[in-house]
Amino acid sequence: MSDPRYCAEIISVGTELLLGNILNSNAQFLAEELAQLGIPHYFQTVVGDNRDRLQAAVKIAAERSGLLIFTGGLGPTPDDLTTETLAACFDTPLAERPEVIADIEAKFARRGRVLTDNNRKQALLPVGAELLPNPSGTAPGMIWSPRSGLTLMTFPGVPAEMRRMWAETAVPWLHQNGWCRSILVSRLLRFWGISESALAEKVAPFFDLQNPTVAPYANNGEVKLRITAAATSEAEGQALIAPIEQELRAIAGRDCYGADSDSLASVVGEILRDRGQTLSVAESCTGGGLGQLITTIPGSSQWFWGGAIAYDNRVKQSLLNVSAETLAESGAVSAAVAEQMAIGIQQRLGTTWGISITGIAGPDGGTETKPVGLVYIGIAGPSGCFSVERRWGAERGRDWVRRLSAGDALDQLRRSLLTEDSSRLD
């Protein structure tokens, strides 16, 4: 472990965080930022709006970390205790800062409000603390070194305010005061169609690397490999990462679909746009989930023309031209119906490609031959139509089946777009 004097710790204050009422996105943001700045970070704490427990958390953190970063508890209400508790921890009196009062008054005047006694509380900072301005809100933070080898930074809990204060004041201060001795540069490779265990087996030797390091993650059907390099500059870090990325991509082949902020929808969209091709979708069990993934991509209107949610068999017949005979013989959840749905939407909207999804998401509706989690995906394209069967299982619930089905449908199209024979998968 690094010297504690050069380690950071995040302390999130708020009973609402402990109760799960609010997702702790501030801690996630700060953790990523610390990694980018190359500042070691080994502990996070969440503590409620309680003076004694917050004091206890500060006492512990101050013995193992040199930079304590607090979010929350800077508001005007009685349960906002962070500033006064920190002052008490280090036996330091609070003093009203006139520049903060002036700032709050000016902001209130623009909103037609008048400063109250409650808001004056936000102008109290420990004697000797440096003001950490809040351009967006009324709760300023502080940068304070109550003793040698220890620095405290406080931020409001409102994410937008905290992030702006961090970028505009905290990060420059950290650079100027020698905290950013190196930086961490990362590249996130994204995979679909291969399990975490299977991918880990293929790339196992890379997990022993020291710089850069390679670590696997998995969620919602997707597997990720994060390559992280410690370096003195962004360029140096990228140079360390590039050959490792090249080797990993070569090993994974088409299972690696992109990197960093890429999504299956954005990658598919880029290919379709470059080729001047278009897409439409027909969904049953996913109920619009596939269309939602696609339309989250800015500019998707260039290549995505629309779709249909054909939940009832009568809609499959009237809108997508699925035959009554096929429905009677094979059932709505079948390869034949998936293919007819894909062709039907492709022809109905006149697009280059059509995707369909039909399945049993559960929790009810499964049978011995067609269990919950059985899904068929149809792909219709310039060279014809094909379908794939997926058995996701019922263990993780309805939403899991729907998410994986929508993601896998995009992956089937991606693989079809990447192969000369678009009527089959690798």
Peptide bond connecting 76 to the previous residue in cis, omega within 30 degrees of 0: no
Q: Is the pLDDT of residue 255 over 60?
A: yes
- Residue 116 CB neighbour total at 10 angstroms: 11
Question: What is the rounded CA–CA span in Å between residue 294 and residue 304?
Answer: 8
Mean pLDDT of 2-27: 92
Q: Residue 212 phi/psi, 5° resolution?
A: -80, 165
Q: What is the pTM of this model?
A: 0.77
Mean pLDDT of 299-308: 98
pLDDT of residue 206: 97
Q: Is the pLDDT of residue 280 over 60?
A: yes
Q: Classify residue 330 by burial, with Cβ atoms within 10 Å: 0-12, 13-18, 19+.
A: middle
Q: Categorize the per-residue pLDDT at 143 as very low, low, confident or very high, splitting at 50, 70 and 90.
A: very high
Q: Is the pLDDT of residue 170 over 70?
A: yes
pLDDT of residue 359: 98
237 close to 231: Cβ distance less than 8 angstroms = yes
Q: What rounded mean pLDDT belongs to the chain?
A: 94
188-235 confidence digits (pLDDT tens): 999 999 999 999 999 999 999 999 999 999 988 999 999 999 898 889
Please name the CATH architecture into which domain 183-259 falls: 2-Layer Sandwich (3.30)
Q: Is the pLDDT of residue 4 over 80?
A: no
pLDDT of residue 233: 87
Q: How far is CA 92 from the centre of its chain?
A: 40
Domains 183-259 and 264-418 share a fold: no
CATH of domain 264-418: 3.90.950.20
H/E stretch holding 27 reads helix 25-37
pLDDT of residue 419: 84
| CATH match for 4-176 among 3.30.470.30, 3.40.50.970, 3.40.980.10, 3.40.50.1240 | 3.40.980.10
Domains in the chain: boundaries: 4-176, 183-259, 264-418
Which of 383, 324, 381, 331 lies closest to 356 in space, CA to CA?
A: 381
- Residue 174 CB neighbour total at 10 angstroms: 21
Q: Tokens standing for 389?
A: 């069967």
Q: Is the pLDDT of residue 2 over 80?
A: no
Q: Is the pLDDT of residue 1 over 80?
A: no
32-80 confidence digits (pLDDT tens): 999 888 898 999 999 999 999 999 999 999 999 999 999 999 988 888 9
In the chain, the percentage of residues whose pLDDT exceeds 70 is 98
Provide the β-strand partners of residue 188: 226
